[in-house]
Structure 1
């Protein structure tokens, strides 16, 4: 079998088709303006750190201070985005970042900024970004239809990098003429437009049929789902390694401008601008690439371009050549990020998509935050050129990882939820009634046993990642054709929640299993509630579900 996948089937839609949807278009434009402010603020913060005569590690920590909150808070933010109104979460995050940016501008105007105070403010802005990102990215699926999601994700990356193509150069000019405080002020003002657009948006609310999950349970459900989804796991590994290597280009850009080229803030802005131009070009080009080639092949090409760009940066002292190299880095970065992000979005159903995206962000930004510190440390010990060459080698190593962590093709997946009507029961139950034990009885012919076991292995993974506990498969010793699937749910609500998480792709496994069933009708399903013993009849009362939970460790759920 060839190591290079065959070209993917033709995708629907076009690169600009998400703009047909007015809400996506409005939010995209407002986010673009906010991204311009963020780019200008980033140039101001990085160059202010250089002006404060900080060490190379302190300069790279500006990048780390923005990405570290995403590592620390993304999973909580993802759980909140899946549980609460995403629009309100985004508004809260934007207001918080506006306030923090305004405080940073005031501190800069009155000359109170120190290296550690600057890192504190950039860290707080990163906290706002961490709260905003999962809600914003998960909202894309509510703004455009599924077939437009990959193009919408790419357009989001293009918008950010369009700002990056002009914003840094503009930021460098603003810093050179008016100082870093002016850059911070412009960033604070840039949040106002997006807050206004979000305040006017009235998305269709999904009907909530079950109580909201507790935060801890929601976080664990997200971790469980992702850990049992091989396609998402592969994406997380690639994101972490790519983030580690790619962080060198942005984190070391101020030092490249100052030490390798001998320039100032305008030179720094031009380098980031070249990076942004490459990113925009890649975003416009990416749709045609997705039509012609597989996700894996595109990512390999992008990583090679990024590695080549960083190697040229390490060896060049020419502004023109280094800008061309940064353009290559931009092409590589946006192609990788858009493919990985879209892969996660297309591999997770709506009930868990924000948490899956938050775990992807944690992996990628863990690599970026750790990489920013690592490249600063290597620069101080071995020199700037050495750090860039090692980062290029890391990107090439991520290409090799594709042999074991290949990216899936997601266009054929159908992750729409099936729907599950709550069963009627003769014994009265409430949401907190439990534990609930479910058994499903199959009759399987001897010649179908191996096919049945293979299908049940997939069934086990689906059951467990959707929340079932203590799943087991039993065989009757007196009648070997009888097989019993069994699993637990802690409460009736969790049992219903588990079944409402099944998608059309999950149902295909169930159809394979039912096709192997030889008995009359469909497999028999029994829903049981575990009972305790030792109560006199007159102590039971009219609501037996009140004492359904076990009183001893025997039979308790793990």
Structure 2
């Protein structure tokens, strides 16, 4: 490809599997939006709080299941996870269609089945995001994220209008039936996808579910760049959720429109988002990531103000065009930011936390906005949401996205194998925590700089497995600095060696070690828990030491 082609927002579509999945996802997303219109319109005559529960029922499962879903996607074949989710959602949508045709779909059953569909979405979300680097090059992940948003908004441009027309002409059952059939396309493409043997499954691990959950939480907590993406998401989503939660009420109560009119309003958002995809590369070049987040929040605040004060349908439809542009600009920026900051071994778990914040913010905010609309009125509620968006825009200056230029999540297997006398975990050897100690020698002039640089090393250790970390200066020989960190098991420490370290971790270590006394080398030791007694006794006089290990019988403790 030439430079012009690779800079195009559509460049990832040149990848055959990505293109096929993108098309299949478009059909599925159209079905999802058709169903959303059908479900919301069945409840639009009830209270605002009940109607907004459709969005909550669809989003709440992500709050409950995102983290376990991330573990599943990191531990098992992600294609299998995705195919399973497709067929599960097909079954639930089919049940919705049958009940709707039989006129047996009560609000409670509708919300329950919508919740089950949300469970399928929660199961597939981390796996879907995590396979993107297998489909496109890392430098194209931003464009792939934008194309994902374009996909959703193309569906929003078509699905709601089509869904509203079908509901008005034939009833909600047919939109549910179309949605059920739409899952077959993604399942078919995934089943036909022939992945390289080296990527058919995540790296093997003996982690249990709780240990894997803890490892994902620990990584995110000790990755400042990822945490900042989550903060920016948390500050944007509540105000943005007001538009999706309250637009059906705006259509019916403020503008006097039916289901078809509501579908056209959603289509206007979709058209704006698709148009915005053409402007995104230029916006990112001119404004940067943080400028794009600020501009998107300001645009969204203006749209909410229009919805609160204008009661002319065509003017509202025009105002919704920039809402789509703002939505795709902000979400593609955030999605690309989190994708490029996560290494492969924990990618799905990190993305599950992002999806938890994104979907959970919508799930919790939607009923809140519905309750406020019942108490204070629709216009006042929309103005309050607009004020929340203004605060989001203002906060970018205080809490911007961190620069990603220095982040390289590529794996780096640069630690040498430890020369141990015995192999932990074998026979009667220790299987508990491992204390790793590293002794450095640093000249006095570099003490402050070394200590400062080791703070970044500390976050690296914690991200990759350390339960605790400390840096100590020898009171007898101040040039000696001792780094101690505790890892829960020898297996997890080996994962640090061979799976979890990244090129960024290596750079942090090299920057700290550049300040060591010339000619000195760090001294590394590994110590094991002896609460059950020593692992081995002294070697016999005839013991042979080979490959760093004593070849003699163990002496039980």
Match of 1:22 among 6, 16, 26: 16
The answer to whether the Cα contact below 8 Å between 1:308 and 1:328 also exists between their aligned partners in 2 is: no
1:402 aligned residue: 396
Q: Could you tell me how far apart the structure 2 residues matched to 1:320 and 1:212 are?
A: 59
Q: Could you tell me how far apart the structure 2 residues matched to 1:208 and 1:33 are?
A: 29
Bigger shift: 511-520 or 195-204?
511-520
SS of 2:514's equivalent in the other structure is helix
2:386 aligned residue: 392
Q: Could you tell me how far apart the structure 1 residues matched to 2:538 and 2:17 are?
A: 59
Bigger shift: 29-38 or 395-404?
395-404
Q: Does 1:87 align with 2:79?
A: yes
1:287 aligned residue: 281
1:7 aligned residue: none
Aligned residues: 536
Q: Could you tell me how far apart the structure 2 residues matched to 1:20 and 1:535 are?
A: 60
Deviations 1:235-266 (A, max 9, x none): 21221221111111111111111111101000
Counterparts of 1:185-200 in structure 2, within 5 Å, are 185-200=177-192
The answer to whether the Cα contact below 8 Å between 1:455 and 1:512 also exists between their aligned partners in 2 is: yes
Please tell me the root mean square deviation across aligned C-alpha atoms, in Å: 2.3
1:223/1:201 CA distance change after superposition, 3 Å: same
1:421/1:175 CA distance change after superposition, 3 Å: farther
Structure 1 residue 291, shift from structure 2 partner:
2.5
1:479 aligned residue: 477
Q: Does 1:529 align with 2:533?
A: no
Q: Does 1:152 align with 2:150?
A: no
Match of 2:194 among 199, 202, 207: 202
1:394/1:514 CA distance change after superposition, 3 Å: same
Match of 1:170 among 144, 162, 165: 162
Structure 2 alignment gaps of length 5 or more: 540-550
TM-score (norm 1): 0.92
The answer to whether the Cα contact below 8 Å between 2:441 and 2:520 also exists between their aligned partners in 1 is: no
Match of 2:231 among 226, 237, 253: 237
SS of 1:406's equivalent in the other structure is coil
Q: Does 1:261 align with 2:255?
A: yes
2:442 aligned residue: 444
Match of 1:429 among 417, 424, 433: 424
Q: Could you tell me how far apart the structure 2 residues matched to 1:383 and 1:78 are?
A: 39
Deviations 1:287-335 (A, max 9, x none): 2222332100001101111111111111111111111122222111111
The answer to whether the Cα contact below 8 Å between 1:163 and 1:276 also exists between their aligned partners in 2 is: yes
Q: Could you tell me how far apart the structure 2 residues matched to 1:460 and 1:475 are?
A: 15
Structure 1 alignment gaps of length 5 or more: 1-9, 548-558
Q: Could you tell me how far apart the structure 1 residues matched to 2:537 and 2:72 are?
A: 45
The answer to whether the Cα contact below 8 Å between 1:11 and 1:290 also exists between their aligned partners in 2 is: no
The answer to whether the Cα contact below 8 Å between 1:248 and 1:391 also exists between their aligned partners in 2 is: yes
1:550 aligned residue: none
Structure 1 residue 433, shift from structure 2 partner:
3.1
Q: Could you tell me how far apart the structure 1 residues matched to 2:441 and 2:462 are?
A: 23
1:209/1:321 CA distance change after superposition, 3 Å: closer
Structure 1 residue 14, shift from structure 2 partner:
2.7
SS of 1:433's equivalent in the other structure is coil
1:539/1:505 CA distance change after superposition, 3 Å: closer
Deviations 1:44-81 (A, max 9, x none): 1111112xx32111111111111111111111111111
Q: Could you tell me how far apart the structure 1 residues matched to 2:232 and 2:215 are?
A: 22
Deviant stretches of 4+, over 4 Å = 207-210, 532-547
Q: Could you tell me how far apart the structure 2 residues matched to 1:536 and 1:23 are?
A: 52
The answer to whether the Cα contact below 8 Å between 2:76 and 2:202 also exists between their aligned partners in 1 is: no
1:535/1:140 CA distance change after superposition, 3 Å: closer
Match of 2:211 among 206, 217, 222: 217
Q: Could you tell me how far apart the structure 2 residues matched to 1:13 and 1:55 are?
A: 48
1:552 aligned residue: none
Q: Could you tell me how far apart the structure 2 residues matched to 1:90 and 1:212 are?
A: 23
SS of 2:311's equivalent in the other structure is coil
